[in-house]
Structure 1
Amino acid sequence: MTICSFDFTRQGATAATEATPLDEGYRWVHFDLTDEDLPGFLHANVPAIPAAALTAPETRPRADRYDDGLILNLRGVNMNADGPADQMVAVRMWMTAQLVVTVRVRKVFALDEMRTEAEGGHAPGTPMQFVSALATRLMGQVQDTVFDLSGRVDAMEDSVEDDDSPLPTELAEERRTAIRLRRYLAPQRDALVALVGTDSPLMTQGTRDLLREQANLAKLNVEELEGLIARMTAVQDHHTAQAALMQGHNGYVLSIVAAVFLPLGFVTGLFGVNVAGMPGIETPWAFAALCASLVVMTAGAVWVLRRLKWI
C-alpha cells in the first residue's frame, strides 16, 4: 500500500489517483521501501534499471538520465527521533513526463510537507518543478543544521581566548557530526550540479535556474563544513598546546626545586648517618652552624641558576 498517491495537473491542482492513465499532468506515487506492493508496481510501471536503483539496499546522491526519464537520489537531515541529524535520510526517485515515483526508508519531512500541500490542493506543475521544490526543502533543512553547528563552533572558539578554560567536552562529537554531514553533502553537491547540467527533455530553463541555486547552496554548505572541521581542529590543537605548555612549565618548576634542594638533601643525609667521628656532635652551636651553611648553599644554588638563566 502506497504512503500517498496524487494526480497533478499542469496548473498545480491535485486530485485523487485514478486507475486510468493521465491525459495531462503527472502522477506522484510515494512508497516505503518495505512496502509489499512496491515490487509489483515497479515491475508494471518502471524500467528494470531505475527499479533496481529505487530498491537498492544502499544509495548515494546521484542524478542520471535514463531514456526520457531521470534517476535521482537526494539526502536530507534526519529530523526523526530515531537518530541524530547527521544520519541523513535518503529519497530515491524516478521521474518521467507523467510519473514521479519516490521511495524512502525513514520518514522524510520534506516529502511530508509536499504531501500536506498536495492534500490541500497545491502542487508543482511539472515533475522538474516537483524536484526543485523537494531540493529546496531538503537544502533548507541542511542549511539550518549547518548554521546551528556553526553557532556551536563559535562558542567553542570563545574558549580559546581563556587559557584556563578546559577543552569543550562536546568538541569531538561536533567534529564527527561535521565530518558525517560533509560525507553525504559532497556527493549531493555533485548530484545537483549534474542535475543542472542534464540534457533531459524534462528540464526547463526556469527549473534549471532554480536548481542551480540549490547546487550553489550545497557547495556553500560543503565549504562551510570544511571550514568548521578546520576550526574545530584548531580549537583542539590550541587546547593540546596549552596542556603541553602547562605540563612543561610544571616540570620546569619541579626541576628547579629539585636542583635547589638536591645539595641540601645530600648534606643533611651525610650529617644524619649514625657513625662515630661525625664533627660537631659534642659542640653546642654545631646545629646552628649547619643550618646557616644550608641557607648559604640555598642562596648559592639560586645564584648559580640565575647566572645560567634557568630562572
Structure 2
Amino acid sequence: MFQGVAMPICVFDIFADGTTQVPTDTHLTGPGIYRWWHFDLADPMLEPWVREHLHEIPAGSLIQKQTRPRCDRFEGGLILNLRGINMNEGQDADEMVSVRMYVDSDLLITVRRKKVFAIDAIRREAEAQKAPPSPAEFLEALVGRLTLRVQEHVATLDEQAEFFEDDLEDKNTPMPHELPEIRRSVIRLRRYLDPQREALAKLAAFDIPLIPDESQLELREQANSALIAVEELDELRDRLVSVQEEHDANIAQRQARHGYVLSVAAAIFLPLGFLTGLFGVNVGGMPGVDHPWAFTILCLGMAGLALLMFLVLKLVRWI
C-alpha cells in the first residue's frame, strides 16, 4: 500500500463515534473526521513525503532533528512540538522524548524520534475502536497523558527531596550520592517544561475552529497543570541547593572541629617536643645523666607542663 512512500508506524481514518479503519489508499486525508498519520523520524522516505504533501513550513517542523516545545498557527492548522517523560527502558527519564505534530481540521500527523508512550496509548485506543473523535480531542488526550506523567515524575523527585531534608536532622549523615544527579535532572526537566508551559498556554488561547470552546477549557487546565509542574521544579531546585549547602556547611564544620582539635594538641605538645628534643641531645654535660631519678623527674615535669598548657589555653578560651 505504501510502497515507494514513507512507511508510517500507523495510520487511521477516525470517525465521529471514535471508530477507526486502516486506509487502503495513500491520500493525505480520508473519509473520516480526520486521518492520523504517525511516523518515525528515522524513516528515510519521510522528508520527501512531507515536502510533497505539506507546505514547506509545517514540513520543515516535522523533520527537524532538534526541537523545543512550540505552538504556532499555520493557516487554519497548528504546528505543535511537545515533550514527554522518557519511559523507554534503560534511558534517563529527564532526557525527554519529543513528538512533532501538524494538526488540521481533517488531518493529524505525528512524528517521533523515540517511542512516546502517550502516543502508543492513543494508538491502542484507535486499534480498539475508541479513538479520540476529533483532532482537538486527540490533543486533549495527548497533552493530558504527557502532563500526568510529568506530574508523577516531579512528585517522585519531591519525595526524594523530602528524604534528603529529613536526613539533615543527623548532621553526621553523609551527602547522598544521588543528590548531584537529581539536581541535574531537575535542571534538564525545567529546560523543556518551561517552554512547554508557554506552548500549552498559547494552544489553550487560540480562538480557531479547530479547537472548540470545550476543548479550550480542558487544554487551559492542562496548561495550568504544566505551570504548576514548572513552579514545583523551581521549588525543588531551590530545596536541593539548600540541602547541598547544608551538607557542605556540615562538612566544613566537621573539618574545622578536627582542625581545631589538632591545633590544640599541637599547642600542648609543642613545648613537650622541645624538651624531648633537648634532652635527646647525645652530648656530654646533660643534667641528671648519673642521677637515678632524673627520668622520672623529667616525665613528671613534662606532665605538669602539659597540664599548665591546658590550663593556659582554657584561661584564654581557646578551648
Q: TM-score, normalised by structure 1?
A: 0.95
User: Are 1:139 and 2:142 matched, yes or no?
Assistant: no
Query: Given the superposition, is the C-alpha separation of residues 35 and 288 from structure 1 closer, same or farther in structure 2, using an over 3 Å criterion?
Result: closer
Once the two structures are superposed, the pairs formed by residues 154-165 of structure 1 within 5 Å of their partners are 154-165=162-173
Question: 1:215-236 CA distances to partner (integer Å, 9 max, x unpaired)?
Answer: 1111111111121122121111
Counterpart of 1:246 in 2: which secondary structure? helix
Question: 1:193-231 CA distances to partner (integer Å, 9 max, x unpaired)?
Answer: 111122333121111110111111111111111211221
Structure 1 residue aligned with 2:264: 256
Task: Say which is worse superposed, 91-100 or 197-206, in terms of deviation.
Answer: 197-206
What is the aligned counterpart of 2:246 among 230, 238, 251? 238
User: Are 1:150 and 2:158 matched, yes or no?
Assistant: yes
Question: 1:253-300 CA distances to partner (integer Å, 9 max, x unpaired)?
Answer: 111111111111112221221222222223233223222221221121
User: Are 1:279 and 2:284 matched, yes or no?
Assistant: no
Once the two structures are superposed, the pairs formed by residues 152-301 of structure 1 within 5 Å of their partners are 152-301=160-309
Question: 1:37-57 CA distances to partner (integer Å, 9 max, x unpaired)?
Answer: 423432343211000100111
Distance (whole Å) between structure 1 residues aligned to residue 19 and residue 292 of structure 2: 114
Distance (whole Å) between structure 1 residues aligned to residue 63 and residue 271 of structure 2: 80
Question: 1:30-78 CA distances to partner (integer Å, 9 max, x unpaired)?
Answer: 1111224423432343211000100111111000001111000011111
Query: Given the superposition, is the C-alpha separation of residues 287 and 36 from structure 1 closer, same or farther in structure 2, using an over 3 Å criterion?
Result: closer
Does the CA-based 8 Å contact 1:29-1:100 persist in structure 2? yes
Amino acid at match of 2:106: Q
Structure 2 residue aligned with 1:58: 66
TM-superposed deviation, 1:18: 4.8
User: Are 1:16 and 2:27 matched, yes or no?
Assistant: no
Does the CA-based 8 Å contact 2:50-2:59 persist in structure 1? yes
Structure 2 residue aligned with 1:7: 13
Structure 1 residue aligned with 2:315: 307
Amino acid at match of 2:142: L
Distance (whole Å) between structure 1 residues aligned to residue 42 and residue 263 of structure 2: 68
Structure 2 residue aligned with 1:100: 108
Task: Say which is worse superposed, 70-79 or 20-29, in terms of deviation.
Answer: 20-29
Question: 1:67-124 CA distances to partner (integer Å, 9 max, x unpaired)?
Answer: 1110000111111125111111111000111100111111111111101101111122
Distance (whole Å) between structure 2 residues aligned to residue 123 and residue 60 of structure 1: 27
Distance (whole Å) between structure 2 residues aligned to residue 285 and residue 34 of structure 1: 94
Amino acid at match of 1:66: F
State the percentage of identical aligned residues: 48
Query: Given the superposition, is the C-alpha separation of residues 82 and 200 from structure 1 closer, same or farther in structure 2, using an over 3 Å criterion?
Result: farther
Does the CA-based 8 Å contact 1:70-1:200 persist in structure 2? no
Distance (whole Å) between structure 2 residues aligned to residue 125 and residue 166 of structure 1: 55
Amino acid at match of 2:260: Y
| Equivalenced residues, count | 311
Q: TM-score, normalised by structure 2?
A: 0.93
Distance (whole Å) between structure 1 residues aligned to residue 289 and residue 245 of structure 2: 60
Query: Given the superposition, is the C-alpha separation of residues 208 and 282 from structure 1 closer, same or farther in structure 2, using an over 3 Å criterion?
Result: same
Does the CA-based 8 Å contact 2:13-2:31 persist in structure 1? no
Distance (whole Å) between structure 1 residues aligned to residue 266 and residue 50 of structure 2: 81
TM-superposed deviation, 1:24: 5.3
**Unaligned ranges ≥5, structure 1:** none
Distance (whole Å) between structure 2 residues aligned to residue 266 and residue 12 of structure 1: 94
Query: Given the superposition, is the C-alpha separation of residues 236 and 81 from structure 1 closer, same or farther in structure 2, using an over 3 Å criterion?
Result: same
Distance (whole Å) between structure 1 residues aligned to residue 246 and residue 47 of structure 2: 55
Query: Given the superposition, is the C-alpha separation of residues 272 and 28 from structure 1 closer, same or farther in structure 2, using an over 3 Å criterion?
Result: same
Distance (whole Å) between structure 1 residues aligned to residue 50 and residue 90 of structure 2: 29
